[in-house]
Structure 1
Amino acid sequence: MIYIQQFFIIIFICFLGLACARERPTQSEFSLKERKVFGKPGVTDRTEIEWILRLLAESIIDENLEPVLIHINEEEGIWVDLKAHWTKKQFREEWNEKNGYFQTYFFSTELLRKQKSNTTSLSVKDILLKSEGFSLDFYFESKEECEVDIIFNSSSPLEGDLSNPVFRKIGNRWYLYRLL
């Protein structure tokens, strides 16, 4: 009987490992490197946050934020910029809008320039593509909150156009709490 239980536990762990492996994004065209860490993170905290940040950047470049949804906490919601807090449901609805917030500010430089009547504005996607990758400084405010400062490899003045993403740990998982 004990062997049967152990067998099923091993099978369960194998299936769980396969399922988690499928959720991992492919290697990005740009690099992410850790520079400095301030505060006292747990053993895997930086790795998990970096993985979510890479997924976010790749999702923005792919213009598909669906993979990011599982990293937004249902109760906490998300700050999409410094002034707007949305529920997970609002986030999902808005990124599907044809000329909505994400299409304008995150994906389409052309729409953004029309919106702002400014010929130099760039979408978050184009800023990420011009960054040539970035380095990360982790600021652990506590064991449950971390702000990440993004430093572009290209030494571009555009890095100031992005907000520092913030992550919150709820239970044993890190969630995206504020977008780029």
Structure 2
Amino acid sequence: MLKSIVFALSTLLLSALPLAQSAQAAPIMTQEFLFEDGSSFGVLSIDLDNIDESGNVLEWELFELFGLTIGESFLFIVDYDPLDLAAGFTFFNFDVNDLSNTFAFQGFWDAEFGEGFMDIFSTDGQFIDAGSFALGRATLVSAPATALLMLAAMGGLLLRRRR
């Protein structure tokens, strides 16, 4: 009985204390690149803490196109509305190469048009393909502190169930 009271009080106390924020404390916004038929061909994830003084994000957490991980960037700018994160990206522009340095991708997307356009080249400059695309729904992964609190709650439930 005393152990459960101490556990409850310590859990309450720890949940009331502000946790130190790590470098990954902000939500991660992710959106998929979609063909006209709705099938996915890529994904872009950004950390909402990596914003510059102009309100743009200049680096990504995860960027994949056609199963290839994007590595090198010559141009990368993403914009979003901080008052409506569920709306996702409002604008982005990119000129990037994949990690294997086989393909180069240039493209843009603007929420006002509702679709984007992308060119695909070999890294030696040979044109391969071009086309339009749309974006899927934006998903947000919350801060790691929330995950830590959920793990602590699950641990408490497991201890309670064990008795």
Higher helix content, 1 or 2: 1
Higher relative contact order by CA 8 Å / sep ≥ 6: 1 or 2? Answer: 1
Higher-strand-fraction structure: 2
Structure 1 or 2, whichever has the larger Rg, is 2
